[in-house]
Structure 1
Amino acid sequence: MEKYISIINQRTFLALGIALLAVFVTVQFDFQYDFDLTMISIAIIFPLVFTIRSAFKRREKALEFLSRFRTGLITVDTSIQQNPRLEITDRAEARTQILTLSERLITYLGPEPMSYDEVRSSAGEITAFVAQRQVQFKTSASLKIHNFMRDVYSGAENTAAIKEHRTPTSIRAYCLIFIYLYPVIYSPSLYYRLSSTLNDFDQWVLYFLCLFSTFILISLFNVQEQLENPFDQKGLDDIRLSKFEIREKDLINLEN
């Protein structure tokens, strides 16, 4: 239940407070006018849907890059472990480097991130390991490892880019400002429509409709904010980083 109410925060109460005050002032001073609410859709709904869609695409791309990273790293480990020319100590060293790289990337992406330079350093150690033992690898095996290390680098770098660079801040700020202004514009217009179409209506209908629509808009904005960083493990739709971390049990036995 706690996760389902995670979209409710200080912004929610601020927006509802503004909506409540706007309706109160509208009713108190009998302030109403006829306004085309299509403008609201253009000003708020369109950019809000655009940012939500962009954040969702970033999440899907992150899943793709993490899968590529994990698959590439497991394949590199398999190629190294199945090389009979390597000593068991060398294979164990490579295994340690691979597990360290996986752990560091997941830690970097998580809620308590580390420096990305450490991730790059771990990837460089694996590349250096293969380069230093070039004569112990067949040409085909060496090329295979280098090809899959390209996937490892690509997956890690692209995932890091998604974490560091978000959807345009200006659009999100614009959406938030207009969500706060929405009840101020909407309340008098709704009041006009209700009073002109209904001979007698309860003022609580006006309060309910304005508060409910404001809650929907600010909740959508909060969902988009949570999707902005799909790695912080705070939202319902965050990526489960633990599923992409490589552990000892995921790799072949060193004796093979």
Structure 2
Amino acid sequence: MHVIKDFLRIQSLQTIIVIALACGATGICLRFDVYFDLPTTLIGVAIIFPIVFSINAAYRRREEALGHFASFKGHAIALYYAHRDWVPEDSSEHANRMKQLIENLLHSIHHYFTAKNGDEDRFQEVYNRFSEISLSMEKLRDVGVSNTEISRCNQYMRAMMIDFEKMRNIRLYRTPTTLRAYSHVFLNTFPVLFAPYFANLSNEHNLSVGYLVAVFYSLILVSLDNIQEDLESPYDQIGADDLNLDVVDVYNRILFDKTDE
């Protein structure tokens, strides 16, 4: 059941349009006796290879985003533990403050990456959260935390900022635009270009054969293109393999005061 559900998720209006064009063009070729035996390897060279290349590139970007987000969360937890465990006396005030700041930062990052346009206000909000964390670390000096430990906290925050910027670059700079445009052009012209080939199959075998092959080719090619589109942005929460950025509730159970143990 899940397999069928996931398969249906990668279908779109473009699937219906391309199938309709392929069947319509095939019918026109049959009507006017236009038959050609075209090499099917042309489909692989012109359409499948560029799409598969783009899928591989998009998948690598998703894996990189996963790694950066994992690093970001790990450093955030380490920063919280520093506020909880490095303060010589009662640390609950500092731990609770950092817990709230990290939750606010995770919310801001989730809002920024899932927004359709990723506007500047949301981007500025993320760095406002980083600024609040930086100011929070300065308060540790007043309660006896050493400069070396403060420096370590700054390294944690620096790593978090770098991971965020790497995730942001994955969103801003996608797989080659010209290659995707090339694939879309050939994908949409394919039903017309190969209609004589499908008509030839119907003429040589059975009327339904040409139409069935046209439908299968269209379904396969558009599905591959839609898979690439879903992987293209790992943050938009549309594809089945997108990153789950709404993790505040999960990590809220990890960020606890040691007095609660």
**What TM-score results when the alignment is normalised by the length of structure 1?**
0.88
Q: 2:30 aligns with which of 10, 27, 30?
A: 27
Equivalent AA in structure 2 for residue 122 of structure 1: R
Structure 2 residues not aligned, in runs of 5+:
none
The answer for the alignment partner of 2:124 in structure 1 is 117
Establish whether residue 130 from structure 1 lines up as the match of residue 134 from structure 2: no
C-alpha displacement of 1:111:
5.2
* Superposed CA offset, 1:107-136 (max 9, x none): 222357671111111012112222354363
Deviates more, 1:172-181 or 1:82-91: 82-91
SS at match of 2:241: coil
Q: 1:233 aligns with which of 237, 240, 247?
A: 237
Contact 1:78 1:252 in 2 (8 A): no
In structure 2, the CA distance between the partners of 1:246 and 1:145, relative to structure 1 (3 Å rule), is farther
What is the aligned-residue identity percentage? 27
* Superposed CA offset, 1:16-46 (max 9, x none): 1110111101111111224333222221111
The answer for the alignment partner of 2:222 in structure 1 is 218
In structure 2, the CA distance between the partners of 1:70 and 1:246, relative to structure 1 (3 Å rule), is farther
Contact 2:50 2:183 in 1 (8 A): yes
The answer for the alignment partner of 2:253 in structure 1 is 249
The answer for the alignment partner of 1:185 in structure 2 is 193
C-alpha displacement of 1:104:
1.2
In structure 2, the CA distance between the partners of 1:191 and 1:21, relative to structure 1 (3 Å rule), is closer
Quote the Cα distance in structure 2 between the aligned partners of 1:233 and 1:90. 34
C-alpha RMSD of matched pairs (Å): 2.4
Q: 1:80 aligns with which of 83, 106, 129?
A: 83
The answer for the alignment partner of 1:158 in structure 2 is 166
Structure 1 residues not aligned, in runs of 5+:
none
SS at match of 2:256: coil
Deviates more, 1:100-109 or 1:34-43: 34-43
In structure 2, the CA distance between the partners of 1:150 and 1:254, relative to structure 1 (3 Å rule), is same
C-alpha displacement of 1:53:
0.8
SS at match of 2:240: coil
C-alpha displacement of 1:190:
4.3
Contact 2:101 2:129 in 1 (8 A): yes
Q: 1:108 aligns with which of 103, 108, 112?
A: 112
**What TM-score results when the alignment is normalised by the length of structure 2?**
0.86
* Superposed CA offset, 1:231-256 (max 9, x none): 22222212222347663311131537
Q: State how many pairs are aligned.
A: 252
Quote the Cα distance in structure 2 between the aligned partners of 1:84 and 1:207. 73
The answer for the alignment partner of 2:58 in structure 1 is 55
Runs of 4+ in structure 1 over 6 Å off: none
SS at match of 1:16: helix
In structure 2, the CA distance between the partners of 1:62 and 1:24, relative to structure 1 (3 Å rule), is same
Equivalent AA in structure 2 for residue 16 of structure 1: I
* Superposed CA offset, 1:197-223 (max 9, x none): x5xx21110000011111110111111
In structure 2, the CA distance between the partners of 1:65 and 1:236, relative to structure 1 (3 Å rule), is same
Quote the Cα distance in structure 1 between the aligned partners of 2:96 and 2:247. 23
Quote the Cα distance in structure 2 between the aligned partners of 1:172 and 1:106. 27
